Amino acid sequence: MKASTLKFILLFAAQLILWNYCNFSQYLIIVFLPAMLLCLPIDRGVIRVMILAFLLGLAADFFETGQLGLTSLALVPVAAIRRWVIQLVFGNELLARGEDLSFRRQGLAKFVTSILILTSVFLLIYLWVDSAGMYPLGFLALKYGISLLVSTVVSLAIAFLLLEESVAKWN
């Protein structure tokens, strides 16, 4: 098993532990699954990433004892727009050259932007479906804002962990 695959599995387990045992506040959901999908190799096709997102979401809901399918419902659209976000933020030349993402080559600002977009999509869908119209808009907006801010910071650290081989590669 490759080190990157093992890292991915351990970080997924960390996400499950975080959701199950670390309930910081009713206003905060820390999620870094969108960043994990972003850090997958560029050559992975959209359909493969969407299937992986569906399976990750299903496993997360099963082990989290949440509503089965909720995380999948929010994670599959993130996987669907992943390639578009990479083109938009990082440029077409990255895809043309077939390079993987790297903090050293692309820079921190591009990673913050792409993680913000993907995490925003995830949280909008997740919170909208999870609330089912039971919470006031102000509460949901506050929960969205706090969760987006904290999740982006955590996701940057996770992305750096997943892509540290690419940092060493470009030294």
71-93 pLDDT, tens per residue? 999 999 999 999 999 999 988 87
Fill in the DSSP letter of residue 43: T
Q: DSSP alpha helices (H): ranges in the chain? A: 3-21, 33-38, 46-64, 70-90, 92-97, 103-106, 108-131, 137-162, 164-169
Q: Choose between 164 and 14: higher pLDDT.
A: 14
Fill in the DSSP letter of residue 101: P
C-alpha span between 5 and 21 (Å, rounded): 24
Q: Choose between 131 and 120: higher pLDDT.
A: 120
Whether residue 57 is predicted with pLDDT greater than 80 in this model: the reply is: yes
How would you classify residue 93: left for phi > 0, otherwise alpha for psi between -120 and 50, otherwise beta?
Answer: alpha
8: tokens are 């991915």
Backbone torsions φ then ψ of 132, nearest 5 degrees: 50, 35
117: tokens are 């977009």
Instruction: Tell me what pLDDT residue 65 has.
Output: 64
Cβ neighbours, 10 Å, residue 91: 12
Instruction: Tell me what pLDDT residue 165 has.
Output: 64
Which three-class secondary structure state does DSSP give residue 28? coil
C-alpha span between 46 and 15 (Å, rounded): 23
Mean pLDDT value of segment 55-73: 88
What's the chain's average pLDDT?
88
pLDDT digits (tens, 9 = 90+) for 15-40: 999 988 888 888 899 999 999 999 99
Question: What is this structure's pTM?
Answer: 0.89
How many Cα atoms within 13 Å fall on the side-chain side of residue 135?
16
Q: Report the amino acid identity of residue 155.
A: S
32: tokens are 């870094």
- Contacts for 143 with CB less than 8 Å, ≥ 6 apart: 26, 27, 28, 29, 127
| Sign of the alpha-carbon dihedral angle for 72, 78, 81, 83 | negative
